[in-house]
Every structure is written in structure tokens, then in C-alpha cells.
Amino acid sequence: MAEAKAGLGRGTGTRLAVLGSPIGHSKSPAIHAAAYEVLGLDWRYERFDVPEGELADFMANRGGGWRGFSVTMPLKQEARAYASTLAPAAAEIGAVNTLVFDTTDPAAPARGWNTDVTGFIAALSEAGIESARRVRLLGAGGTAAAVVAALPSLRTEALSLVVRSPPRAQALAELASSLGLQVEVMTFAQFDARPASAKAAELVVNTVPGDRDHLRVDKSWVQGAVLFDVLYDPWPTKLAARWQSAGGRVVSGLELLLAQALLQVRLFTGRGESEPLPREVEVRSAMRSAALRVSE
């Protein structure tokens, strides 16, 4: 947090940043900078490592000049407290990944959004995935909630929540049930013990932080299923590599990052989430190129 405080007073003009922990791997500064360069905006986009429980201290010391923040793990639930109004998706899932201030004054109210929901749908659509009747979701945090909120758009009927601590998934299970999904909650060990026929799904989504070996992968149930791993660094993750080795298809979290970041750029520049940017095709291309350069 000392590092974050040290940077709060620096610079002039319009500022943006991504907040979370760990944050050193984030490609957001590069891809946002590429977007604002195409748009002709001399805006700064930074990153600050803000651990869980320390967002209040950061916000109290942020000073002026801020247009907004991108918010990533583990702060998406904490960020709700700093939004005077919430967009429908953010209110539904109780997680905010975008704060947009009305002005750059440090006392200005903020609007809270969650671009992960629409970004997830857009990323899957780009990959040619328009529906998934059965979904296995790994993890129960803020990103997992966004995935659940997106599932009705994929015509999902049945959802398995595979988590480390089932009690922590209760709110997520209730959200899924409220959306008309058949829901079951289990631990990773319980899921691993199931026969292959009971594991089959069109889509498996990993939202568990950290590059972990937390799931057994077997070609008897992986083939025919798509893994959407929301992680993107390092890539491929351990799970993605084993999934591909077993003959399964993988969609990288980089696709979600780019899709939701484009929506954030729209919001930060005063547009609605569904209102295209000027030269948006060029902006998209520049953002993707910047992300790939950072990976090299």
C-alpha cells in the first residue's frame, strides 16, 4: 500500500488506473494507453497494488484528477461502497469492476459498472460460442458472479459451482437460482471423484485466482468441452495446458480482458456501455496489438 500512496499525488491532467492485488502482471495500462492514443486523448492510465481490505485507505488518499478506476481481484465487492449509483449488472451481482467519477474533483460521486458480464458474452461470441446448456464454473468470487449473470444469454440450463469452500458460494448459488438455473455446489475433490459422464459440459469457466493445479483433467470428459480460463498471465496456465493436451479447446482470459476493457473505454469517455467509440475498429486493433506486445 505504501507504493500506491507514493504515486497518488503525482502527475497532472486526467488520470485513470487499475486497482487490485497482485497487479504487476496487468496488461490494462498498455491496452488502455493504446486506446486513448487512437482517440487523441492525453490521459494517463496507471496501476496500483491495493490488497483486499485497503481500498478505503486508497480512496481516502487519492486526491484529484481521477476520471475513474478499473477494479480487479480481490476488490470488486469492496468497490461497491464507492458507487453512488450502480448499473443494473453491478447491482445484480454485487460486484463492481469499473468506477467512473462525475468530475475529477476528489469529492465527486462515482457510478459503478460491471463490464465483465457483457465482456464475457462478447468474448465467447468472438470465439463462436453462442450457447452452453451445461456449465461448470470454478470459483465463487466477483468474476464468477459476472459469469453467472451472463449465463441466461447463453441459454444455460444447468450450472455446477466447483469451489474450495461451499459456504462461500451460497450467494452465488442463490443468484443462479434466481435466474432460473438448476444449481449444484461441490468441492474440487467431490467433482474430481465423479464419473466422466457426470462431468460433461459444453463450457467450463475457471475464475480461481493464481495459476493452480486444482482440477483433474481427463480426455474422457474434456473433449467436446470448451475451457474459458479468465487468467491470462502466465499463459498458458497449468489448467489450460493440461486441457489442450487432453484434446480440449481453450479460450484465453485475454479475450475477456480486451472485451471488458473496450467497454470501460466507452464509459471513461462519457459514453454508454453499448455506445460505440469513434474509430472503434481501430481502437480494438490497437488494444489487441498492445496486449500482444506486452506478452512478448
Distance CA 235, CA 252 (A): 8
Residue 199: CA count within 13 A, CB half-sphere:
25
Within 8 A by CB and 6+ apart from 168, the residues are 140
Is residue 115 within 8 Å of 256, Cβ to Cβ?
Answer: no
| Closest among 95, 17, 46, 73 to 268, alpha carbons compared | 17
5 is catalytic: no
**CB neighbours (10 Å) of residue 107?**
7
Alpha carbons 246 and 221: distance in angstroms, whole number: 9
Catalytic one of 27, 76, 199, 219 = 76
Angle between helices 253-268 and 280-295 in degrees, nearest 10: 130
CA 21 vs CA 48, 83, 112, 146: distances in Å: 8, 20, 20, 19
Residues annotated as catalytic (active site), given as ranges: 76
